[in-house]
Structure 1
Amino acid sequence: MVALEVSSLTFETHTTGLSLLNSAKCYRPSRVGSTRDPQVNQGLVLMMAHGTGYHKEHWEPTIEHLFDYESEQQVAKIPPTLTIRECWAIDVQNHGEAAVLNEQVTREIPDAWSIWDYADAFVTLRRDILGSNPSYRNNKFVLVAHSASATAAILTTTFFPLPVLQSQAIFHSLILIEPAIAPNPAFIDPARHTPLYRSISRLIAKRKDTWTSKEEARAWMAEKMPWGMWDERVLKVYVEFGLGYAADKGVTLRCTRRTEALAYERGIRQSLPGLWQLNLLCSANAHVGDKTATSKSTSESESGRTASKPVGSHKPIIPIHIVWGEVDDLFSREIKDGLEDPEQGRVFTSVRRVEDVGHMMVQTSPQATAKVLWDIFRESSASGALSGDDFEDSHLKTQKPEGRDGAQRRSRL
């Protein structure tokens, strides 16, 4: 397993006039025992957003596996050569380490935070901090978001005019993992959701939130759902960074029960602006250069993968990839199918389903999460989508469309 070098960054945002501090970490492969050039400054820069109740360090096991895949590729000399310069992860401002930095603000105004604040954190890091550094000029920025943070990822694009998004390649692609986005306003109604979603929403404000020590907390969680299903590395960082010391009660959740419950209460409703912007992006992607038609689905017989491919030299403003767990636990198949419904104008660069995992795939299966991300990067690189070339998936052979209209790429991994 590739060891990580980690550096931290704190910066300020004022999205809605409220001053909030943001906690970010940058991950690179350790120089010790690595064959990689320590001065590498080309390649992908991943910006990673976490879901409700989690924090930025949840991405660390996935990031380790991503750098493992890169190392294996370099040793085997498998084309196309793909390099990840570094990975950034940012806390939601009332989660993890950021919750400590903003404790006074969130205590005095607990309802003040909005999903726009999290979106602004990524915009500030991309545009103002990294964007002002000449060494990042030729990097490809990919925004990866899990669960509720998918709305924040989509809303980052509202900070820029569409022509700027394309001409300056602010983000080279969005990858939304199990996006917690309502396909239409009717899904604000809790009755439209799975029993698991309703149960979590109801019980989260009553969950146990104090322990005498982090050791006790970890042992307790290891025997309970859902934490007992998590990869042990994720559970370790959850306890390390998700719990803080309280003078009068041992350790407690940094993301308080009230904060998490409020996020579930607001969550689906708060996703609607993300849905509207997603509709706009899909429409813009479909009409760039007046190339409105898309080819029928293509497939690779050995892997079962299928793909949509825009006609001609069409290049989307921002490629958007959707990744679902094949287990429909927190979100029903109805919600998932509704979000990716091409009849609603939502056609994505790819839609993939990962076998044997559900909504918490980042927590339960970091290697599978890394594998699907790596596959997206490699296929995008091969097609030119991460090299600035026009979108052209020439290595796939056209076959009979599969599924609903054949408009999406589906992969079972």
Structure 2
Amino acid sequence: MGDLQIDSFVFDARPSYPLLVTAKRYLHPSFSPDPDALTLVFAHATGAHKECWEPVLKHLLSVNGKAKIREAWSVDCPNHGDAAVLNEELLQWGYEPIFSWESQYAKVLHRILNGLGKGVPVDFSSRRLVAIGHSMGAVSWLLTRTFYPPPRFVSLVLVEPMILGPSFTGGSVAEFLEGSTAKRRDVWASREEAYLALLPRYRYDRDAMASYVEHALRDLPTALYPDKQGVTLKCTKWQELACYRDYQSNKLAWRYIKDACADLPVHFINGAVHDTLPKELKEDTVVTATAGRYKSWQEVQGAGHLAPQMAPKGVAEAILNVLADPDFSHKMPVSGSRL
């Protein structure tokens, strides 16, 4: 990551919230101390980790010539990444079979930004915040605004948001994700073996795959596998399943997003490949759910639902298209045929 300075933090909102949360702050010599500069806050998808945004951030820094950035932050969902390790004992009971995006990830993101806890030494209320989320993370950022007081975002950037409207709640997307997760291998002899096994399956960019192997895996033994050796997932596949079984949050996001769009600029970034999310579902979210109030809509070529991992450079360029306009007032020409 070159000259990027990375600082790690543990956010503790106890006694009002029982789970610990891990976050990282990214600083770079090109960043500006100007109070008007932007603070980027990232949230990840189900099955990912806060560091999954690092390849995107690397490309963003390499091509950025217009956006004035102050800091970047990325936050783990409480049952993912390093947070899952810290919360291992608590997560064994009470957070399955359903782990709510709204009452867990969105709630803790809201608390971090509003300073409702300790361990993160930043007053985000004084920052010009751009919230960038992928899939579950996109929905979670959106739903933070349903808590009081709502975070003061300059803009929301939703990457492949997992938002399901009335025409798409029959279960096909959830059934696919649940079925593939339940059958997924989750123990490998080493990180090297995991890298070679997972790269062709996920079709990740190589930097993204290396990040996954480094940050999404942990050494065995664990509470789930006390007698095994090698490496396994920090977010167990049972916790990942619990996230996929939250059928409510993505519906609430569909109902709410038009109100968010009426209050601040909301930008969409989708993969041009319609794998997990059908073309019609994306159109329904961007056009119908927002009542046409969205600010921009871009596609990343060669990327599907896992766009930040499959095409981090393309996602970075799309984010910069949003950030480069200081007023966030541009609206890109988009028609339904683009999807």
Give 1:172's aligned residue: 154
* 2:183 is aligned with 1:206: yes
* 2:44 is aligned with 1:50: yes
**Aligned match for 1:280, one of 252, 259, 276:** 259
Give 1:331's aligned residue: 277
SS of residue in 1 equivalent to 2:46: coil
- Give, as a single letter, the amino acid of the residue that structure 2 aligns with 1:58: C
- Deviation at residue 2 of structure 1 after TM alignment: 4.3
Give 1:108's aligned residue: 93
Identity across the alignment (%): 29
- Deviation at residue 276 of structure 1 after TM alignment: 2.1
- Give, as a single letter, the amino acid of the residue that structure 2 aligns with 1:219: L
- Deviation at residue 5 of structure 1 after TM alignment: 0.8
Give 1:241's aligned residue: 215
* 2:244 is aligned with 1:264: yes
- Deviation at residue 270 of structure 1 after TM alignment: 2.8
Change in CA separation of 1:37 and 1:263 when aligned onto 2, cut-off 3 Å = closer
SS of residue in 2 equivalent to 1:108: coil
Structure 2 unmatched ranges of 5 or more: 222-226
Change in CA separation of 1:349 and 1:225 when aligned onto 2, cut-off 3 Å = same
Runs of 4+ in structure 1 deviating by more than 3 angstroms, as ranges, are: 36-42, 129-134, 136-139, 197-200, 401-404
SS of residue in 1 equivalent to 2:95: coil
Give 2:308's aligned residue: 362
Aligned counterparts of 1:37 and 1:259: Cα–Cα separation in 2: 36
SS of residue in 2 equivalent to 1:330: coil
- Deviation at residue 41 of structure 1 after TM alignment: 5.7
Describe how 1:14-413 pairs up with structure 2 within 5 A: 18-29=17-28, 31=29, 36=30, 42-70=36-64, 73=65, 81-111=66-96, 113-115=99-101, 116-128=103-115, 133=122, 139-160=127-148, 170-184=152-166, 186-191=167-172, 193=173, 198-222=175-199, 224-226=200-202, 229-247=203-221, 248-249=227-228, 250-266=230-246, 268-282=247-261, 285=262, 317-342=263-288, 345-379=291-325, 381=326, 384-385=327-328, 391=329, 393=330, 403=335
* More off after superposition, 106-115 vs 139-148: 106-115
SS of residue in 1 equivalent to 2:157: strand
Alignment deviations for residues 329-369 of structure 1 (CA, whole Å, 9 cap, x no partner): 11111111111234872420111222222111100111101
Aligned counterparts of 2:31 and 2:255: Cα–Cα separation in 1: 43
Change in CA separation of 1:133 and 1:328 when aligned onto 2, cut-off 3 Å = closer
Aligned counterparts of 2:180 and 2:144: Cα–Cα separation in 1: 31
* More off after superposition, 256-265 vs 335-344: 335-344
SS of residue in 1 equivalent to 2:297: strand
Aligned counterparts of 1:353 and 1:153: Cα–Cα separation in 2: 20
Alignment deviations for residues 234-267 of structure 1 (CA, whole Å, 9 cap, x no partner): 111111111111223221111111111222232x
Give 1:291's aligned residue: none
- Deviation at residue 57 of structure 1 after TM alignment: 0.5
- Deviation at residue 171 of structure 1 after TM alignment: 0.8
- Deviation at residue 48 of structure 1 after TM alignment: 0.3
Aligned counterparts of 1:216 and 1:177: Cα–Cα separation in 2: 30
Change in CA separation of 1:130 and 1:265 when aligned onto 2, cut-off 3 Å = closer
Change in CA separation of 1:231 and 1:60 when aligned onto 2, cut-off 3 Å = same
Aligned counterparts of 2:119 and 2:130: Cα–Cα separation in 1: 13
Structure 1 unmatched ranges of 5 or more: 74-80, 286-316, 386-390, 405-409
- Select the structure of larger CA radius of gyration: 1
- Conserved 8 A contact 1:131-1:137: no
- Deviation at residue 138 of structure 1 after TM alignment: 5.5
- How many residues matched? 329
Aligned counterparts of 1:121 and 1:343: Cα–Cα separation in 2: 25
- Give, as a single letter, the amino acid of the residue that structure 1 aligns with 2:217: L
SS of residue in 1 equivalent to 2:243: helix
CA RMSD of aligned residues (A): 2.9
SS of residue in 2 equivalent to 1:324: strand
